[in-house]
Amino acid sequence: MKSFDVPIIYRSPLISAIKKKRKEMDKLKKDFTPTLLDFGPVLIYLARHFGFCYGVENAIEIAFRTVEENPGKRIFLLSEMIHNPQVNADLQAHGIIFLQDTYGKQLISFDEITAEDIVLIPAFGTTLAIEQQLQQIGIRTEKYNTTCPFVEKVWNRSEAIAKKDYTIIIHGKPKHEETRATFSHAAANAPSVVVKDMAEAKALAKYITGEKPASAFYEEFNNQCTTGFDVTKHLKRIGVVNQTTMLASDTQAIADYLKKVIIEASGTEDSFADTRDTLCYATNDNQTAVSGMLETKADLAIVVGGYNSSNTSHLVELCEEKLPTYFINSEENILSPKEILHHNFHTKEELLTADFLPARDPVKVLITSGASCPDALVEGVINKLTGFFPVIKSVTQLTAELQ
C-alpha cells in the first residue's frame, strides 16, 4: 500500500517500530492478538491495528502539501479535515480557514470566496450541491479533493445498483458529514433513505411488509429520505451501503435483516442487491483488532481519538461491553494516577473518574485509537501511564529493542 508524507509530529518511533515488526511477522493480517509492552508493574496491550488509515493519511498529505505549494494564497477547508482536534488545530495554525463546522453550519459565506482561492474537500467528501456551488464560483474542487477512496467506493457501488433499479438504504448517522455526502450521491441516482441503527431498519421493514401505512413513513423518516420517495414503489428492490466508519457487524446485521424481510415480502432473491464490498478495510481491521485485544484479561481499556469521531466511538462501544473504558483525546486527559478526564459519547459529557488505575501489580491496560488519531498521541498516553510506575525499562529503551 502507498506510503504518505505526513508531518513527523504525528509519527511515533515506538508505534512505527511495533507496526513494522507486526507487519513483517503477519503479512496476511491473520493475527489479531495485541502487542504486549512489558514495563514490569504495568503491562500495556496495544491493538493489532489502530491509528491513521489510508484515507486519513492521504487527506493530511494533500492538505499540508497544498499549504507548502501555495504561499500567500487563501486556503479554505470545507469542514473538519478529519475528526481529530489536534490535526484540525494544526491545519488552522498553518493558515487554513474552515468554511463550515462538522454539522454543515456555515462559518464563512461562500459569497466571500473567489476563483483565486483554494478550497479543500475533506476526507468525508461533500454533497453534489456544495461541489456544484464551489465550481460555479470557479473553484477547482478536483485538484484539492481529499475524499477517501473507500468513501468513493460506496458512492460508486450505490450508482451501480441504482442503474439496476434498486433503492439505496444507507446505514449511517444522518448528521455526519460522510453520510450527508453519501446520501447526496446516492440520491442523484436512485430513491434513498438513511437508517441510523437496527431499530430504524426494523421500522423501515414495516413499510416493506405493509404493516405500517405509507403515510406514516414521511414523518418517521423526515429529512432521511429523498424528495418524492414513494413507499409503495421504492421499497420493492433495495440494497444496503454504509457510512464507512460504522460498526461493520451492525451494517451486516442490518443488511441481513432487510434482505430476509424483502425476500419474504417479494418472493424473489433479486429484490436485494449484494453490497458487502462497501465495508471499509480499516474499519474492519480496527474493530476486529479490538475484538482480538479484548480476549486478553485486563483491568481497563483506553481509547484515544477525537470525541466526534464515529469510528473511534464504535471502538469504545466494543470495549465498554467487556471492561471499564476511558475515551480520551490525548495524554493530557490523564490528570494523575488517581484521576482521568474522559468522554461519554452516549451523553456527550466529559466525566472525571477517580481511582481509574487499580491497586494491582501488574496493572493491565488495553490501548487502541481511532483511524484519525496520530500515533504520537498514543505514545504520549503510554509515556504518561508508565510515568506513574517504577518501570523496568523506558519507552525509549523499548523502542531501541524493537528497531
Which of the residues in the chain have pLDDT under 70? 1, 277
Q: Is residue 319 within 8 Å of residue 325, measured between CB atoms?
A: yes
Handedness of CA 217, 219, 223, 224 (dihedral sign): negative
Pairing of strands 339-344, 238-242: unpaired
The three grid cell numbers given for residue 132, joined into one nine-digit string = 456544484
Q: Tell the residue number behind the cell numbers 433495495, with chain if given.
A: 238
Domains 8-53+282-402 and 149-278 share a fold: yes
149-278: CATH topology: Cobalt-precorrin-4 Transmethylase; domain 1 (3.40.1010)
Alpha-helical (H) ranges within 94-176 are: 128-137, 149-162
**pLDDT score at 141:** 86
**Candidate list 178, 200, 317, 379, residue with the active-site label:** 178
Query: What does the domain layout of the chain look like in residue ranges?
Result: 8-53+282-402, 54-137, 149-278
**pLDDT score at 340:** 98
**pLDDT score at 277:** 63
**Among 125, 92, 99, CA closest to 113:** 99
Class level of CATH domain 54-137? alpha beta
178 labelled catalytic: yes
**pLDDT score at 378:** 98
> What does pTM read for this prediction?
0.91
CATH code of the domain occupying 8-53+282-402? 3.40.1010.20
Q: How far is 310 from 148, CA to CA, in rounded Å?
A: 15
For the chain, count helices (H), then strands (E).
14, 14
**pLDDT score at 400:** 87
Q: Is residue 124 within 8 Å of residue 147, measured between CB atoms?
A: yes
**pLDDT score at 35:** 97
